[in-house]
């Protein structure tokens, strides 16, 4: 679950360490280190070209920087060279590029920022299989497995080893820092600076609920940004949470860099949700049609599903430890004061009853039977006239 306190501290550390010159220390140690430190400088210039490492892994060429302008029209598959592991080997990121025969908008589709979220990857693979570059104007960049070490463990967070096992939520670190104090923050920056930012005009960063939770077909999207709103409403989904959520989100960092972006949530974590995936494939194809990347009639959109848009998410949080019985389902409308869950101890005695503090719609609910004090049991999406920033939220 989210950790609101981590971000300011990390941000402070990143600034301090950068200020004392981590690059200079690395450069002083040996010639190889010097070369590495030099190559770690941010690569903001999209005209610098695609850099091939010379390696080929499982038939895929390895790149350390991508410039889609270099590529021939067609479908391309690469491994992007991410940050090094303690063993000295690297985490590679799977990248697909569909480059159209004509120029046009450049769309980024991203999955695997959290490693326990599987349906996003399948959604993007399904979209990419339907693309014919010969018929396309512009390009689609698919970055499929951003947090490889988290994916290997079916875990939300990146297992960093610098100070003993330390789990880092990479979706609180974007745009990252290539000279940052941990591998995850450096990896975030490599992906952001050398893959995404130079190659996309619009982006969609697909997620699911966190482990232990389930969600409706849902977006986290800034509806105050017209270009984001236009894309978000092209999905035939149930709900939109109109809120900037956290600093450090990939979508927020992209917006700050001038790339309209939002965060769909494709139901439950850990599984391929074959009921929900087609909804997000259809919406994504609608976005590609909207931007003129592919031709064809727009499919079902939010107009067909009467999307409920809320600007606040009310968390119902466990106050006791024990076994939880939820009394409401996803999408149910609840009233303020309505009983939504009871909790029993090991003897079967009721130790807590929980009510919703607001009237709204159930957006997410716990699926694991147990909860400890502080565990989120339910999120109720609702509206308040004034938005005031970051909230606990299971993206
Ligand atoms: Zn996520």
What distance in angstroms lies between residue 93's CA and the mean position of ligand 1's atoms? 17
State both tokens at 289: 């049609």
Give the pLDDT confidence of 275-308 residue by residue, as tens digits.
999 999 999 999 999 999 999 999 999 999 999 9
Distance 156 CA to ligand 1 centre (A): 7
Backbone Cα Rg of the chain: 22
Distance from residue 114's CA to the centre of ligand 1 (Å): 5
Beta strands in 153-294 (DSSP E): 158-160, 166-168, 202-205, 213-215, 217-220, 239-241, 261-266
Ligand 1 midpoint to CA 362 (Å): 19
For residue 202, how far is its CA from the centre of ligand 1 (angstroms)? 19
How many angstroms is it from 255 CA to the middle of ligand 1? Answer: 18
Give residue 377 CA to ligand 1 midpoint distance, Å: 17
How close is the Cα of 368 to the center of ligand 1, in Å? Answer: 17
Q: 2 Cβ partners below 8 Å, 6+ apart?
A: 169, 172, 246, 392, 393, 394, 395
Q: pLDDT band at residue 388, thresholds of 50, 70 and 90?
A: low
CB 36 within 8 A of CB 190: no
Mind listing the pLDDT tens digit for each residue in 184-219? 999 999 999 999 999 999 999 999 999 999 999 999
Residue 149, beta-bridge partner list: none
pLDDT band at 48 (very low <50, low <70, confident <90, very high): confident
Domains defined along the chain, listed by start: 9-305 (3.40.630.10), 313-382 (2.40.50.100)
Give distance in angstroms: CA of 116 to centre of ligand 1.
8
Of 61-75, 157-171, 324-338, the one with minimum mean pLDDT is 157-171
Cα 4 versus chain centre, distance:
17
Q: Quote the pTM value.
A: 0.87
Residue 187 CA, ligand 1 centroid: distance in Å: 17
Does residue 333 or residue 164 have the better pLDDT?
A: 333
pLDDT at 23: 38
| Cis preceding-peptide flag for 175 (omega within 30 of 0) | yes
Distance 392 CA to ligand 1 centre (A): 13
CA of 90 to the centre of ligand 1 (A): 23
């Amino acid at each position: 679950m989210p950790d609101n306190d981590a971000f300011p501290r990390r941000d402070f550390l990143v600034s301090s360490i950068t200020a004392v010159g981590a690059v200079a220390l690395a450069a002083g140690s040996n010639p190889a280190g010097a070369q590495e430190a030099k190559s770690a400088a941010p690569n903001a210039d999209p005209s610098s070209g695609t850099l091939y490492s010379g390696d080929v892994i499982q038939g895929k060429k390895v790149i350390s920087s991508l410039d889609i302008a270099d590529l021939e029209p067609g479908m391309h598959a690469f491994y992007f060279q991410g940050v090094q592991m303690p063993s000295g080997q690297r985490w590679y990121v799977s990248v697909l590029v569909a480059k159209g025969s004509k120029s046009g908008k450049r769309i980024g589709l991203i999955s695997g920022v959290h490693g326990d979220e599987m349906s996003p990857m399948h959604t993007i693979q399904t979209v990419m299989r339907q693309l014919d570059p010969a018929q396309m104007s512009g390009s689609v960049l698919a970055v499929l497995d951003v947090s490889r070490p988290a994916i290997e463990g079916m875990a939300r967070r990146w297992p960093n080893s610098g100070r003993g096992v330390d789990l880092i939520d990479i979706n609180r670190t974007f745009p990252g820092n290539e000279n940052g104090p941990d591998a995850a923050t450096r990896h975030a920056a490599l992906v952001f600076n050398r893959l995404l930012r130079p190659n996309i005009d619009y982006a969609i960063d697909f997620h699911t609920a966190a482990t232990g939770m389930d969600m409706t077909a849902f977006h986290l999207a800034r509806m105050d940004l017209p270009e984001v709103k236009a894309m978000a409403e092209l999905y035939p989904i149930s709900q939109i949470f109109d809120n900037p959520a956290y600093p450090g989100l990939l979508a927020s960092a992209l917006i700050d860099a001038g790339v309209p972006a939002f965060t769909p949530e494709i139901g439950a974590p850990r599984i391929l949700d074959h009921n929900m995936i087609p909804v997000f494939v259809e919406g994504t194809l609608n976005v590609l049609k909207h931007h003129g990347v592919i031709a064809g009639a727009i499919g079902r959109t939010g107009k067909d599903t009467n999307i409920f848009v809320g600007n606040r998410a009310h968390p119902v949080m466990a106050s006791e430890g024990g076994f939880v019985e939820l009394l409401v389902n996803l999408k149910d409308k609840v009233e303020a004061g309505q009983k939504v869950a009871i909790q029993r101890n090991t003897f079967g005695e009721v130790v807590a009853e929980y009510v919703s503090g607001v009237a709204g719609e159930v957006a997410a609910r716990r699926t694991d039977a147990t909860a400890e004090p502080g565990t989120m049991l339910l999120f109720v999406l609702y509206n308040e006239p004034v938005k005031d920033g970051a909230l606990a939220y299971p993206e």
